[in-house]
A and B are shown apart, each in its own frame.
Chain A
Amino acid sequence: MADYSTDELFAILLARDLRAEDRSVQIGANMPMARAAAVMAGLTRLPDLRVLVGLGVANLADGASVPPVYPFLFDPRSQVGEALMVQEKAFDYSRRPDVFFVGGLQVDRRGNINLFGIPGPDGGWKVRGPGGVALGSMSTSCAGYYIVMPRHDQRTFVERVALITALGDRTERERLRFPGGGVRFVLSPLGVFDFDDAGDMRVRSLHEGVTMDAVREATGFDLAGPDSAPVTDPPTEDELRTLRERVDPEGTLRA
């Protein structure tokens, strides 16, 4: 098995899935793997992509310099590119960005995300999350979004999230006539997951060395899917070289 980190795998899987019709990609806080994915896609396959990386808006075609991946989203050195990102303007153009990435404390069978926290029995908080950031607004309107979960266990993959920060449930989204396209897929250290016709989460592929039993054991609800799932195509030498040499030379994702 090639040697790569989970964040490097995430970056490469996300970069592969971004599409020609995705014209702009916006990255939120604490998502360096998504930043790397968007830059990598712009560099290799999608010359028309605008990538909102931190404070700058970049296009990677025509030999434009590659914005490095910094640990903090709004690093002043990210203020390069062909335009600047202005936080309040992002909401004036709510059909855009086309693509967004979200994380959460919990994700559930229906694709809902919780970043608020878990209420306690007495009206307080058992677990307090950082807050919803812009997940509610972005997930409602954008053409599609990816859920990236750094952990996969029964506390993070649950039957029903304690509180909904981003509504992924397809049935509810249709009822409420949401303009956006909803969840594209869910990434975890164990595999790639999407949703069946009824809107329930299912296995799309499992990463190298992960068994169906292991993923079922780690999931707090019955995952739809066959007993043997395809193996996630691992990163190729080419992909890893591009990622490490051109997108993330500082090794932020390797740590």
Chain B
Amino acid sequence: MSAATAERTSAVAELEAALADVGDGATIGIGGAVTAAHPMALVRELARRKVRGLTVLAPVAGLDVELLIAAGCVEKLVSCYVGYEVMAGVGPVFRAAARAGTIKIEDIDEGHCVAGLRAAAQRLPFMPWRGGVGTDITSLNEGIETFTDPVAGEELLAIPAMPLDFALVYAEISDAYGNAQPQGTGNMDLALGSAAETVILQVDRVVPNEVIRRAPERTWYWQDTRVVRAPFGTHPYSCATMVADIEHLQEFLDAAGGEGDGLDAYVQRYASADHDSYLEQIGIRRIASLLV
């Protein structure tokens, strides 16, 4: 007689439930980079709930961060870049918030992000880093200090550990147990996940474990992961099978850059219902036109 096999626990959660304990004052990291692979469905849910007082680490950001600022969710932003490349050199919501002083902003270099996330993952207080020595980064980021290294006597930066309560990241596929297989390059998401207590993983498809096992070298996993299925959920940003939606990004930039309540109307229109409603707003014709 064979012993009964215990059943493996599914990590799949509905969008709303997966983010339910991301509460006021939480520290979150948001994955993706520039116009690729941001977990926008997760971000829209936080904007819809109007979570307050978030500290957000978003390495190379755009609408992900701007939507949260516009919805009043952000108290402090740590980022290397908020912009839209050729469409807008600087994110308009970020720029306005910076100038009005409505959120606290800490600048950081991409190399510092990697170092700080790894320090958190390794339970170290800081990591040494050379890039940025002699620049004004130390005046724009309260945590980063200059120190003299005890080995060679060189001037270096101490990048403080950046532990996260939650890392919000995206992969094209995962199985039900959080074995993620990004088909892009994963950006800084591995490091974000390693620095977080909990990873909330947005995917287009939840596939059987046997699909993952065909290419185990492509799998990323973290200990405590929730898997949220949200097809086309990076929209208006790209994933491996969909290009970024320039028309939609322009609609946002026009709304944010204009006079009046255009920005509030944008948030109300696109971040006030569930993910399926969002996709209905965008429309199947638009989505289909973006597929690679």
**Residues of chain A having any CB pair with chain B under 8 Å:** 29-30, 32, 55, 71-77, 79, 84-88, 90-91, 94, 116-117, 120, 123-126, 128-141, 163-167, 169, 172-173, 176-179
Contacts and interface: CB of A to CB of B under 8 A. Distances in A.
A76 B239 contact: yes
Contacts of A71: 85-87, 246
6 contacts: A55-B36, A72-B238, A87-B33, A87-B188, A131-B83, A133-B60
Among B36, B91, B101, B246, the one with the most A-chain Cβ atoms within 10 Å of its Cβ is B36
Interface residues of B, number: 61
Contacts of B111: 91, 94, 134, 136-137
A79 B135 contact: no
B191 A133 contact: no
A132 B86 contact: no
B187 A137 contact: no
Interface in B90-120: 90-91, 94-95, 98-101, 107-112, 114-115
A116 B140 CA distance: 9
B244 interface: yes
Given A91-B111, A134-B80, A134-B110, A124 B135 contact: no
B130 A140 contact: yes
Contacts, number: 179
B268 interface: no
Contacts of A141: 130-131
Nearest to B96: A128
A91 B6 CA distance: 42
B243 A79 contact: no
A120 B91 CA distance: 19
Given A129-B90, A130-B81, A133-B81, A29 B131 contact: no
A136 B109 contact: yes
Nearest to A177: B154
B164 to A, nearest CB: 15
B35 A72 contact: yes
A54 to B, nearest CB: 9
Contacts of B108: 131-132
A98 to B, nearest CB: 15
Contacts of B242: 76
Nearest to B157: A136
A136 to B, nearest CB: 3
A204 B187 CA distance: 38
A94 B79 CA distance: 20
Given A76-B184, A76-B292, A128-B98, A136 B90 contact: no
A137 B243 contact: no
B34 interface: yes
Contact of B238 (A75, A116, A128, A176): A75
B26 interface: no
B133 interface: yes
**Residue in B33, B37, B60 with the greatest tally of chain A CB atoms within 10 Å:** B60
Interface string B126-139: 00011111111101
A164 B184 contact: no
Contacts of B33: 74, 87
A103 to B, nearest CB: 9
A140 B135 CA distance: 10
A136 B85 CA distance: 19
Contact of B136 (A74, A131, A133, A165): A165
A145 to B, nearest CB: 12
Contact of B240 (A76, A85, A86, A131): A76
A133 B185 contact: no
A177 B34 CA distance: 32
A163 B79 CA distance: 17
Contacts of A120: 99
Nearest to B140: A116
A42 B87 CA distance: 28
A176 B155 contact: yes
Contact of B83 (A30, A123, A126): A30
Interface string B181-194: 00011111011000
Nearest to B79: A131
Contact of A87 (B86, B89, B133, B185): B185
Contact of B82 (A79, A85, A131, A164): A131
A167 B35 contact: no
A173 B155 CA distance: 11
A113 to B, nearest CB: 9
Nearest to B190: A88
Given A88-B114, A167-B135, 13 more contacts: A29-B85, A71-B86, A73-B35, A76-B240, A87-B59, A128-B95, A131-B107, A132-B109, A134-B111, A140-B130, A163-B139, A165-B135, A176-B155
